[in-house]
Amino acid sequence: MPVAAPRPCSHPGCGVLVRDGTGRCAKHPKAAWAKKPTAAKRVTGRKLQRLRAQLFERDPLCAECKRHGRVTLATQRDHIIPLEEGGEDIESNVQGLCADCHDAKSKAERARGVQRAWGHYREP
């Protein structure tokens, strides 16, 4: 049976060849994911459904489209300041967005998250 070729360790700046398929050398093990102790409590279930219905009843249009002079129905409940960036799950921090605006905002938030996670690594 063929064996996969060795690959470099996926830790930035490490070039040690790894043969066990984990992607990391013994010096740079990947930490197990764990929820941060400071993570914001998220609203879920029926309470979330009720909050979404109230938001769309109060303001049925996409907030971002409205700022650009477009009229589009909101379909997503979005945190203005993301929970990951210190926002709270309160009424003054939520807005309704259409799927396109929500996707664009989420993509930008993910990019900032990647920058936060990898920003301290420097090229050798």
Per the prediction, the chain carries an average pLDDT of: 89
Residue 2 has pLDDT above 70, yes or no: no
pLDDT of 94 strictly over 70 = yes
Give the SS3 label for residue 94.
strand
Residues 38-53 pLDDT 10s:
787 888 999 999 999 9
| Residue 28: how many other CB atoms lie within 10 Å | 16
Would you say 65 and 101 are in contact if contact means Cβ atoms under 8 Å apart? yes
Q: Has residue 123 got a pLDDT over 80?
A: no
User: What per-residue confidence (pLDDT) applies to 41?
Assistant: 80
Reported residue count of the chain is 124
Residue pLDDT, tens place only, 56-78: 999 999 999 999 999 999 999 99
Q: Which helix (H) or strand (E) holds 51?
A: helix 45-58
Question: What pLDDT does 122 receive?
Answer: 63
